[in-house]
Amino acid sequence: MEELITRNVSKPVPTFKDARLTAAADKLVKLYDKSTMNLSKARDAAAAAVASFNREAALILGKVAEEKSYTLDGFKDVKDFAVRGLSFDAHKAYTLVAAGKLYMDKEVPEALKRLSPDNYEAVKSVGVEHLKEAAAAGVDFAGMTQKQLKEYAAAHKPEKKRKSTVLPLFDVTLYGSDKTRHARSQADVETEIREGINPDAPDTVECVKLPSYKEQLPALSGSLPVEVEVKRFLYIGNGIARVYEFRPVQKAKSEKAKKADADREALIQRMKDNGLSDEQIAAIIG
């Protein structure tokens, strides 16, 4: 059974400036309310209600994306409207938006549009162009189970093409500035290159941007372990090659932040002691 998107109903729907956005919001909220009532019915009826809602909601969000009616109200995209404007769950909103764009694409074969939002989510990593070509060639995506779709995606997922980019040292060392909170400073790296390679090096030297990688930073006091992206650059000059790495600075939580976390945990525990469910607590405090 497909999953119904969750919505924080405790947050009121704001008034939108764009009439098209207001109409879309009104349809989505009414659809959601109707679908949640149908969940109390027999399993088959509930499953049908969820499937119907997901497809209709995806079509509405796809139209919002096509019209860009979210711009007047300051949303950066249709996903932002669904999450901030209507308090829908972010992950599921992204699934519905992606499917909505698929449904609105005039070049997509009808056989591919028969995929439900959840089933499209399982296979979309392959890329829309590949899916169009495969569907046109007779691949019956709509006839596959979600497990089969995931297996297809795993077997046909395109390899990421990484290209090294040559850029001035000045651009590279912006990653070391205080503004971006990376550990190494621009001055440190420039001094290291000038003193270690050539004191008369120009103000900017060319570096090659290398593929980045993920690294787990150790936990600091009051903080959880954090996975960060390490930026890497290669300098080649004067017969010397050297790789420079930049990783974000991890800061321990302030005492004020620690106290706020402790107060929140205590509040949640009191609510649980009073018999509130996790869903009720989330609706109250977010």
> Is there a domain that residue 5 lies in?
no
Are 126 and 153 contacting, i.e. CB atoms less than 8 angstroms apart?
yes
Q: What is the pLDDT of residue 199?
A: 46
Has residue 7 been placed in a domain?
A: no
149 falls within a domain = yes
Residue 142 has pLDDT above 70, yes or no: yes
Give a yes or no: residue 76 inside a domain. yes
Q: Kindly state whether residues 123 and 54 are assigned to the same domain.
A: yes
The pLDDT score that the predictor gives to residue 41 is 66
179 token code pair: 């503004």
**Residue 9: inside a domain, yes or no?**
no
pLDDT in tens, 170-206: 444 433 333 333 344 444 554 454 444 444 544 455 6
| Whether pLDDT at 262 is above 70 | yes
Q: Are residues 143 and 187 in the same domain?
A: no
* 219 and 143 housed in the same domain: no
Banded model confidence at residue 118, pLDDT cuts 50, 70, 90: very high
Pick left, alpha or beta for residue 222 (phi over 0 → left; psi -120 to 50 → alpha; otherwise beta): left
pTM above 0.95, yes or no: no
What residues make up the domain containing 90? 19-156
**How many domains is the chain built from?**
3
Task: Name the percent of the chain lying above pLDDT 70.
Answer: 73
211 shares a domain with 175: yes
Output 134 or 280, whichever has higher pLDDT: 134
List phi, psi (to 5°) of 32.
-65, -45
Alpha helices in 144-229 (DSSP H): 146-156, 169-173, 186-196
Q: Are residues 97 and 41 part of one domain?
A: yes
Quote the mean pLDDT of the chain.
78
Q: Mean pLDDT check: name the lowest of 29-43, 87-101, 122-136.
A: 29-43
Q: Which of 156, 183, 218 is the last residue of a domain?
A: 156
Same domain, 150 and 262: no
Q: Mind listing the pLDDT tens digit for each residue in 6-18?
A: 888 888 899 999 9
Domain boundary among 104, 128, 156: 156
pLDDT for the residue numbered 98: 93
**219: pLDDT confidence band, cut at 50, 70 and 90?**
low
Asked if residue 205 and residue 101 are part of one domain, the reply reads no
Q: Which of 122, 156, 190 is the last residue of a domain?
A: 156
> Are 212 and 125 in a shared domain?
no
Looking at the structure, do residues 28 and 128 belong to the same domain, yes or no? yes
Residues 92, 6: Cα–Cα separation, whole Å: 8
- Are 180 and 274 in a shared domain? no
Instruction: Name the residue type at position 44.
Output: D
Residue 238 phi, psi dihedral angles, 5° rounding: 55, 35
Q: Are residues 183 and 280 in the same domain?
A: no
pLDDT at 236: 66
- Per DSSP bridges, beta strands 206-217 and 165-168 are antiparallel
Give the pLDDT confidence score for residue 166 in this predicted structure. 56
Phi and psi, residue 190, nearest 5°: -60, -40
Tens digits of residue pLDDT in 25-67: 999 999 888 888 776 666 777 788 888 899 999 999 999 999 9
Mean per-residue pLDDT, 249-258: 68
Q: Mean pLDDT, to the nearest integer, of 238-260?
A: 69
66 in any annotated domain: yes
For 59, the token pair is 């079509």
For residues 40 and 152, state if they share a domain: yes
Residue 208 in contact with residue 202, Cβ under 8 Å? no
Residue 253 clears pLDDT 80, i.e. is over it: no
**Angstrom distance (rounded) from CA 179 to CA 224:** 23
172 domain-assigned: yes
Question: Does 3 reside within a domain?
Answer: no
Sign of CA dihedral 211, 216, 217, 222: positive
What pLDDT, on a 0 to 100 scale, did the predictor assign at position 100? Answer: 94
112-126, 147-161, 170-184, 196-210: range with highest mean pLDDT:
112-126
